Amino acid sequence: MIKLHEVGLRDGLQMESLVIPTETKYEWIKKLASTEIDVLQVGSFVNPKRMPQMADTDELFKLLKNSNDFENITFSGLVLNEKGYDRAVDCGVELICIGVSASDTHSTKNTGKSTNDALDEVLLICKNAIDNNQKIQASVQSAFGCGFEGKIDEEKVINIAKKYINNGIMNISLADTAGHANPWQVERIFKAIKNYNNDVNFTCHFHNTYGMGLANCYAALNSGVTTFETAFGGLGGCPFTKLAAGNVCTEDFVHFIQNQELRNDIDLLQLIDFTKIIADYFKRELPGFIYKSGPIKK
């Protein structure tokens, strides 16, 4: 079954200059959780001085932990290093997301470490999580290209994924941080990893920088990917890449799969209403399409 991992509260808001009050974020979480999405990324455990938009992530998770408002949804959080991982554990995060960039330049700008040094730390953190029966997802960022370096060697991406698998990490995400992916490349890389180990649970994360986001989702779906990370309104982008642009839009993706009678349990109209609230809040038009056009009538 296709699973939807909504990352707008993290990947979407991290690019906004406006810092959203914690109480408002909590209300947004309640609205999103009621749409029947599967996983909701609440925030990232990063230095609040570098990213003030994420300064309340610990507080949000503690509020969620003590709440009875939520059922049948998993809350995830992103960590970059051991300190972030310890914070996530203290907050009781259900799914911890971590990753390494296949681009040395992007890795250095994002974490202050080369790809190899960052990978060593990620593997140690994942081992600790696995030993403590914590759910963890490891990603390869800039997996399909880099705004600074351009083309990324596909074998480098595949070899990072193999190292994950060899260390018992079976939830693997490939992220198109720079938005350079194309469908043929997506199929090649996912299928190569799948041929190495068919038991991997794949996630994809595409940015729509060059307008190929949904086409890449379709290629990933045909390659055995089951979980898709998207953001409401198409918000988002990595602040440490050269040309930041939004994610594949949640409403657009849900509309796309529901036209094939997939995941009709997700409340698309409620998602559309939510994104209209966000557009009003930021007082601007968002990149997504379906919240403006409405769905095709069946």
Indicate if the pLDDT at residue 233 is higher than 80.
yes
The residue behind tokens 């043929």 is: 184
Residue 126 is which amino acid? C
pLDDT class for 245, splitting at 50, 70, 90?
low
Return the domain boundaries, the chain.
3-293
Distance CA 6, CA 35 (A): 11
Residue 96 is inside which H or E element, if any?
Answer: strand 95-101
Q: Which CATH class is domain 3-293?
A: alpha beta
Ranges of H-type helices in the chain? 22-33, 57-65, 82-90, 104-111, 115-131, 154-166, 183-196, 213-222, 250-258, 268-282, 290-293
The residue behind tokens 């990893």 is: 193
Helix (H, G, I), strand (E, B) or coil at 288: coil
**More confident: 113 or 32:** 32
Residue 290's pLDDT is 97
pLDDT class for 241, splitting at 50, 70, 90?
very low
**DSSP string spanning 210-244?**
TS-HHHHHHHHHHTT--EEEEBGGG----TTSSS-
Contacts of 292 (CB under 8 A, 6+ apart): 285
Helix (H, G, I), strand (E, B) or coil at 250: helix
Distance CA 109, CA 119 (A): 15
Which own/partner pairs from 65-68 qualify as long-range (CB within 8 Å, at least 24 positions apart)?
Answer: 65/91, 65/92
Indicate the average pLDDT of the chain: 93
Residue 146's pLDDT is 86
Residue 105's pLDDT is 83
